[in-house]
Amino acid sequence: EGGHVEALKYLGEVGGRELLAQPDNQGWTCAHLLSEGGHVEALKYLGKVGGRELLAQPDNEGCTCAHEAGEGGHVEALKYLGEVGGRELLALPDHEGWTCCYLASAGGHV
């Protein structure tokens, strides 16, 4: 959760993509936590290992890591997610119909 790239690299070497993509009971992956905290370098490592599929993986409420980055106002994380996932990732709605743009606006990050 602290965004430590070296720890993620080690876990990726030991457990592979499957470990890094393993969700918790709410459907959150490492990518959700890193996006929530704005940890762009660690997020880039996950993108390199898991690709767009991992970064677009929704949690139980339909939120992707783009939703978490938007809610936290983490512009650099959103830029990276846009580069990797394109407009499609940034425009994905959650189960409430909310996009990362909506969450950024609701949080006053405009």
**Region of residue 75 (phi > 0: left; psi between -120 and 50: alpha; otherwise: beta):** alpha
Question: Does the structure show a pLDDT above 80 at 110?
Answer: no
Pick from 97, 95, 27, 96: nearest CA to 65? 27
Residue 3: predicted pLDDT: 58
pLDDT digits (tens, 9 = 90+) for 48-85: 999 999 999 999 999 999 999 999 999 999 999 999 99
99/16 Cα distance (integer angstroms):
30
Average pLDDT across the chain, whole number: 94
Cα–Cα distances in Å, from 82 out to 10, 13, 23, 41, 70?
26, 27, 22, 15, 12
User: Could you tell me the two tokens for 26?
Assistant: 């709410």
What is the domain extent for residue 75? 5-106
Question: CATH number of the domain that 10 lies in?
Answer: 1.25.40.20
Indicate the pLDDT class of residue 108, thresholds 50, 70 and 90. confident
The arithmetic mean of pLDDT across residues 6-17, rounded, is 93
| pTM, two decimal places | 0.91
- What total number of domains does the chain contain? 1
**Region of residue 6 (phi > 0: left; psi between -120 and 50: alpha; otherwise: beta):** alpha
